[in-house]
Amino acid sequence: MTRWLLLILIATTAQAQTPLDGATRADWPHNGGQQSAWRYSALDQVNTSNVRGLAPAWLFQTGDYADNLQATPIVVDGVMYLISARAQVFALNAATGDVIWQYKYGEPRSGTPGTHADFILNRGVAVGGGKVIFGTKDSYLVALDQKTGREAWKVAVDDPRQCGCNLGAAPLIAGDKVIIGGNGGEIAHRGYLTAFHISNGRLAWRWYVIPGPGEKGNETWKGDSWKFGGGAPWMTGSFDADLNTVYWGTGNAASDFYDGDRSGDASKYPNLYTASIVALDADTGKLKWHYQEVPDDLWDFDSAYEVILMDRVVKGQPRRILAHMNKSGLTTVLDRVTGEHLGVFNVPEMSTWIAGVTEDGKLIGRKDPKPGTVVDVCPSSVGAKSSNAMAYSPQTGYLYIPTVETCNAISSTDLPPEEGKRYMNGGHPLKVAPGHSDASHIDAWDPVTGKRIWTVPYKYLLLSSMLATAGNLVFTGDPDGYFFALDARTGEKLWKFQTGAGNRGAAISYSVNGRQYVAETTGWQQGITGGFASNLFPDQSWRNGSTLVVFALPEATK
């Protein structure tokens, strides 16, 4: 007995001493690179010394033009899997761009106008277990055969005409299951994550963000408000296979700007588990622990963004941690085994929604919107970062964060919820943060010290995800159409290329036959944040489109 215990202890210690490797190499297998969401490639053929020679190797035009190409491509064994805004899926030869197969999702069932069902976007496929899996505008999860592109299974996750919700995020593969969150944060809807068996599409589990009657946490909601209290986890979570734990950020509480129905008192009714990071057992969907970043959210400050898992030395101790930014710009570092709070830092330069935050993450001096008043706060509901993801480089130890400096004047209303209908309760006109001639900056932050290392300004809104590589490079794109590379250590701009349309996508890096490629999905999108950005700068005309641009060093110079 004792001997067994000792063996287990040794095994556990040994595991803890092997740091998590979230880097990608030849493949880019998951939405965030690996399931730890680093968006970091260990490839270094393209590096600070030769990036000036980077040139297009091939382009791929999806033909789905009216809107963006926002999806993160997936690359496995030299094949790229790409989905367009209207769910056309392509398997491409990742070295040449030749089409291996293509699939077109049929006309989606119409949803209720004025809800998320209106938004035309898709943020990516997941590839695993021989399937290519994606969510749809009408809330189906669809699995294609990875070799042929033929439909293998399809399941209705919800009915958009009832819930006003839909599926825009890339699913997450976790072992033999695929997990998908949904949109619906601005709708009278109760958010959830749903897991299905990859092999046959059968339901594995569903976890509701808002606990039902009799479940722990339901008491943090007034009356029946739990039924329509939002929290939809509308982006992609992370997975730690060692801990068999799924990490996900949840959405804002609904209604967005009025809490009279659901709270009115953040300490008594924090509205769990909205605006939180949650750790769930990957097999059962049972909650292991949670950390709520914004109790009783009143600013549309989702916590839905990427959860970055890493192993770092914190205060002299090697720890398994995670770093996570809320829309407010507060970035929290937790022990990912226990949920213990290890630190918090504030990324945007303009923050007026609270007076401050304590070392242990408590909000001080909240500026709560109230009906009958106009409350001017920064950041705006667009977020100190939008849904475009940051990257993490283990080489520098920094997070690379596309930060946005905007504010909004929130005027709230107190209309009651109606299932599946708009439930924001307020207007929130946007402006660039006062005193800021530049609306964005790309920052490098050390998540352990909470210090900003460097910052590079950009005039408009940066809405493209970041990619970091072992070549000490950081890549991203801008609405003007430039895809560019910075020195990961200093922020110095080393290279740029005009892609011909606004960038709102996600760059990846991969290699085929020893040649490193860097790919960026391009094409502006007027939907939501892109529309806000366009209307903030009416003299600009950023172009829509739907083109993948793939770069490499010329064969002779590699």
Partner 1 sequence: MNRLPKTLLLITLLAGLLPAQDLATVLKKGQAVYAATCTGYCHGESGAAGSAPRLSGRGFDQAYITGVVTRGVPGTSMPAFNSGISAADRAAVIAYVASLNGIVSPSLGAAVSSTPATAKLTGEAARGRALFYDATRSFGRCSTCHEVDGVGIPVAAPIAKIPADVSALRALATPNVLNVTVAGESMPALILSRKAQSVVFYDLTVAPPVLRTVAASDIRIGEASPWRHASAIASYKDSELSPILVWFQASRAAKN
In the complex, the residues that contact partner 1 under the rule CB under 8 A are 65-67, 110-114, 117-120, 150-157, 159, 161-163, 186, 190, 200-203, 206, 208, 212, 227, 256, 371-372, 411-415, 419, 421-422, 424, 426-430, 526-532, 535, 538
Cα dist. 446→55, 241, 372, 399, 493 in Å? 31, 25, 41, 6, 20
- We find the least distance from the C-beta atom of residue 192 to partner 1, in angstroms, to be 8
Q: What angle do CA 86, 87, 93 make, to 5 degrees?
A: 125
Catalytic residue among 300, 311, 443, 487: 300
User: Which DSSP string corresponds to 249-306?
Assistant: E---BSSSS--TTT-S-TTT---TTTTEEEEEETTT--EEEEEESSTT--S-----S-
CA distance 206 to 535: 39
Nearer Cβ to partner 1 (21/418): 418
478 is catalytic: no
CA distance 396 to 403: 19
**Closest CA relative to residue 465, chosen from 95, 32, 12:** 32
CA distance 135 to 124: 8
CB atoms within 10 A of CB 176: 14
- We find the least distance from the C-beta atom of residue 204 to partner 1, in angstroms, to be 9
Q: What φ, ψ does residue 532 adopt, rounded to 5°?
A: -60, -45
Nearer Cβ to partner 1 (52/202): 202
Dihedral, CA atoms, 470, 450, 530, 540, nearest 10 degrees?
-90
Do residues 529 and 387 make contact, with C-beta atoms less than 8 angstroms apart?
yes
435: exposed, middle or buried (Cβ count in 10 Å: 0-12, 13-18, 19+): exposed
CA distance 489 to 503: 24
- We find the least distance from the C-beta atom of residue 278 to partner 1, in angstroms, to be 18
**Residue-wise burial string across 456-472, b where 16 or more C-beta atoms lie within 10 A, e elsewhere:** bebebbbbbbbbbbbbb
Read off the tokens for 387. 């849904």
- We find the least distance from the C-beta atom of residue 164 to partner 1, in angstroms, to be 9
Nearer Cβ to partner 1 (39/422): 422
- We find the least distance from the C-beta atom of residue 143 to partner 1, in angstroms, to be 9
CA distance 398 to 392: 6
Cα dist. 60→98, 99, 339 in Å? 9, 9, 43
Q: What does the DSSP 8-state code read for residue 194? A: E
Nearer Cβ to partner 1 (154/362): 154
Nearer Cβ to partner 1 (287/456): 287
Nearer Cβ to partner 1 (312/422): 422
- We find the least distance from the C-beta atom of residue 221 to partner 1, in angstroms, to be 13
Nearer Cβ to partner 1 (77/151): 151
Residue positions counted in the chain: 558
CB atoms within 10 A of CB 99: 12
Nearer Cβ to partner 1 (158/405): 158
Alpha helices in 402-525 (DSSP H): none
- We find the least distance from the C-beta atom of residue 338 to partner 1, in angstroms, to be 30
Catalytic residues: 300
